[in-house]
Amino acid sequence: MNKIIIIGAGIIGMLTARLLVKAGVCVTIIEQGYAGKESSWAGGGIISPLYPWRYSDPVTHLAQWGQTHYPELLEEIRLNSGIDPEYIQSGLLYLDIEDELQQAIEWEKKHDYVFEPVSGEALQSIEPGLDFSSFDADKYVWFTPTIGQVRNPRLVRALREYLLRLGVVIEQQTQAMSFIIQGEQLKGVLTDKGSFYADQVVVAGGAWSARLLEKWLKAPKIAPVKGQMIVFKAEPGVVSRIVLSKGRYVIPRKDGRVVLGSTLEFNDFDKTTTDDVLHELVQEACRIIPALRNYPVEKQWAGLRPGSIDGVPYIGEHPELKNLYLNAGHFRNGVVIGLASCQLLVDQLLGQDAIVEPTPYLLTEERLVNDSKQIDLSSAI
């Protein structure tokens, strides 16, 4: 039986493992910490890029494939794990996109999304929690009713449980340090707990992917981008929709909790949270939904996104080492685009027809560098 090692048990590593094990491959995941405890745990779980018209077609193609297939996948995971990832099709409201409206409308038409202007009473019924005193009576906002969201910690816990039931081995607290190479072929992974052998190896190490590769090979342009989030212990009905305004968004969960995110910070692998950001996020949350000032902040946290310059992930075989594959660099959109990126990688590993044209995602010479520290992401999307 073909044996594949995946480095990293985030959403990308685990969704890749699901497809491979279902195709009859023997899969081991090597995880330096605990499964699903990094970026994939920390995120908002919105199944859409924010301001999707700002992204290139390669991101859009993966996102659309994911949006089509998520409801079915989430039901499969729920039934086979006993854990509900709490998918809700809450829709997404954009409050202030006047400057980009034309671009947004053209993009939505080209990609066939429902994107409706709403105002007045219609808006009140869609999201009664907004601050209507700050709106002109004729102010329009834009609504995409089909966008859904999942609760990340539940999704990754459910995925882990499902994979264990499918027979995937997850070696936690085991760090991949380097690769075992014979001639020009990859034979396995050297970890701090010993050697693991396989026919192929997939690096799905999120923000850490370039750090692992750059010691030995040309690396993808991936660097950590911190995002701080907070959650209010609110009640059901305080907010009904995902609402996006000036780069900040609120996400209503099934039990009434409301998540508010998120910062974009460029300071290496540091995951500390700060009081300044806490205050700023609380202010922004109450600006968008005034009733949130009546509820306590239950928790503040940060995660490290696998930042890449244009948000286009690296999917494919490494040009310098046969049998070494990569699926990383999903930046702000690993949940929404991850499902398709994993399918695309598995199509390559198993020699199947690709779900989308694979070229834009490949590890070409121009997409690889010798030192990931040279990357400047400060103008990133």
| Residue numbers at the binding site for ligand FAD (CB under 6 A) | 7-13, 30-33, 38-40, 42-46, 175-176, 204-208, 212, 227, 229, 261-262, 303, 305-306, 328, 330-336
> Which strands form 92-94's sheet, in the order they lie side by side?
116-118, 141-144, 92-94, 242-245, 248-252, 258-261, 222-232, 297-308
The bridge status of strand 92-94 relative to strand 242-245 is parallel
Q: Which is nearer to ligand FAD, 29 or 95 (CB)?
A: 29
Question: How far apart are CB 37 and ligand FAD at their closest, in Å?
Answer: 6
Which residues, in sequence order, are bridge partners of residue 116? 143
Question: How far apart are CB 88 and ligand FAD at their closest, in Å?
Answer: 13
Contact predicate 51/97, CB 8 Å: yes
Question: How far apart are CB 189 and ligand FAD at their closest, in Å?
Answer: 8
Q: Which is nearer to ligand FAD, 3 or 139 (CB)?
A: 3
Q: Which is nearer to ligand FAD, 129 or 307 (CB)?
A: 307
Question: How far apart are CB 158 and ligand FAD at their closest, in Å?
Answer: 15
Which residues, in sequence order, are bridge partners of residue 105? none
Question: How far apart are CB 332 and ligand FAD at their closest, in Å?
Answer: 5
Rounded distance between C-alpha atoms, residue 290 and residue 163, angstroms:
42
Question: How far apart are CB 133 and ligand FAD at their closest, in Å?
Answer: 29
- Helix (H) or strand (E) holding 81, with range, is helix 57-81
Q: Which is nearer to ligand FAD, 123 or 243 (CB)?
A: 243
Q: Which is nearer to ligand FAD, 125 or 301 (CB)?
A: 301
Q: Which is nearer to ligand FAD, 139 or 211 (CB)?
A: 211
Q: Which is nearer to ligand FAD, 25 or 207 (CB)?
A: 207
161: which DSSP letter?
H
Question: How far apart are CB 251 and ligand FAD at their closest, in Å?
Answer: 8
CB proximity list for 298: less than 8 A, separation 6 or greater: 231, 232, 233, 257
Question: How far apart are CB 307 and ligand FAD at their closest, in Å?
Answer: 9
272: which DSSP letter?
-
Rounded distance between C-alpha atoms, residue 125 and residue 123, angstroms:
5
Which residues, in sequence order, are bridge partners of residue 186? 181
In Å, how far are 41, 111, 134, 197, 259 from 326, measured between CA atoms? 21, 28, 47, 17, 31
Q: Which is nearer to ligand FAD, 104 or 203 (CB)?
A: 203
In Å, how far are 51, 100, 104 from 116, measured between CA atoms? 15, 15, 11
